[in-house]
Amino acid sequence: MTIVALSTVIAGTTGAILPLSCQAQDATAYPDHAIHILVPYTAGGAADVLARALSAELTKRWKQPVVVDNRPGADGAIAVDYTAKNPADGYTMVYGPNAIYSIYPHVHKKAKINARKDLTPVAMVGLSPLVITVPASSPFHTIPELIAYAKSHPEKLTFGSPGTSSLHRMAGEQLDLDAGVKMTHVPYKGTSQAVADLVGGQIDLLYAVPTGVEALVKAGKARNLAVTTAQRFPLMKDTPSVGETLKGWPEYATFQGLFVAKGTPAGVTAKIEATVKDIMAEKSFQEKLAELGFSSEFLGGEAFKAKLEQDYVAVGNIVTRANITEE
C-alpha cells in the first residue's frame, strides 16, 4: 500500500514530494532562528525556573535565542492553544506538567483544543511529589491523625489546591476516596494565595509542590505531613509517604517536560529530545532540579507519552469515582 502510493506520487509530480524534502531540510537546519518556550504559569514558580534553566542551556548549544514566554491562565489552556495554532515546526513549544495532558481533557471536555489531542510530548525533564502541608497551629502531625479526625467530622476539613484541573486537587480527591472520608476542596488560581490562607487559618491543609511551602516549613509556620507518593521520595527521606498509611496508594507526582505542536517533523523532535538528554546529563542541571525539589528523570518522547497516557487513565478513574463534573 505504501509502495504503490509513493510510486504514484513520484510519477505524478515532483511538486507533491516537496513538502517531504522541505521537512528533511528543516530538521537538518533546525533551529535557524529564535525559539519560544511557553510556560502556562506566572514567573517565579518551579516550572518557570526550570524552563529558564533549560532555555539557557538550549541557547548555548543551538546558538539561537530560546525565549521563555509566560502564558498563565485557564488551567494551561492559553499556552497549549497558542502552541497548537502556531506552525508545527518546533519553534514554539510548551514547557509544562502532566496536568495539562492527563487532567485538563477530563475536566474540560468541551474544550476544542487540549494537549493530549493537539500536542506531541518530546522530553520529560524532572519529577517531584506533592506534599500535604498543615499550618503550625494544626493539631495534626500524621496522616493517620488527619484521617481519624476527618472520619468523625465529615466535610468539616478543607483542603486547598492551585486549581480545579490540578494534580493537587486529584490527590486530595484520591485521599478522600481511599481513606473513606470527605473533605471540602477549595480551589485557588495558584499557590501564593493558598499558602497565605493556610497560614491564616482559612484552610486546614494544602497540597503543594515542596518548594511552594519550603520557606514556611523552614520558618516553623507550617509542616509537611507526607509526600503524595507510594514510597518516600529520595530528596525528602525524612517525610513519610501517604503510601505508608494507605496501601495501594498510587504515585501522585508532578512531572514536567517539553511539548510541541502535533505534526512537527520527526527530525525536529528527535533533535530537541537528544539535546535535552545531553543537558540532563550535566551535573549542574541535575543540581538545579534538586534545588527545586525535582529528581532528574529523563524520558524521550515515546516513553514520556506512555507515562502521560498511564497518568491520563488513572486520572479518569478518579474523575469517575469522585464524580467530578465538567468545568
Q: Where are the domains of the chain?
A: 31-127+253-321, 131-244
pLDDT band at 165 (very low <50, low <70, confident <90, very high): confident
**What is the residue-averaged pLDDT of the chain?**
90
Q: Are 40 and 79 in contact (CB under 8 A)?
A: yes
Same fold across 31-127+253-321 and 131-244: yes
pLDDT band at 8 (very low <50, low <70, confident <90, very high): very low
pLDDT band at 41 (very low <50, low <70, confident <90, very high): confident
How distant, in Å, are the alpha carbons of 28, 36, 98, 147, 161 from that of 115? 26, 17, 10, 35, 21
The count of other CB atoms within 10 Å of the CB of residue 224 is: 21
| CATH fold for the domain made of 31-127+253-321 | D-Maltodextrin-Binding Protein; domain 2 (3.40.190)
Would you state the pLDDT for residue 14?
Answer: 39
Nearby residues of 111 by Cβ (< 8 Å), 6 or more positions away: 77, 104, 105
**Cell 507550617, located at residue:** 222
pLDDT band at 327 (very low <50, low <70, confident <90, very high): low
Name the range with the highest mean pLDDT among 2-6, 79-83, 234-238.
79-83
| CATH fold for the domain made of 131-244 | D-Maltodextrin-Binding Protein; domain 2 (3.40.190)
pLDDT in tens, 182-217: 999 999 877 888 999 999 999 999 999 998 899 999
Overall average pLDDT of the 115-135 stretch: 97
Q: 240 — alpha (psi -120 to 50), left (phi > 0) or beta?
A: beta
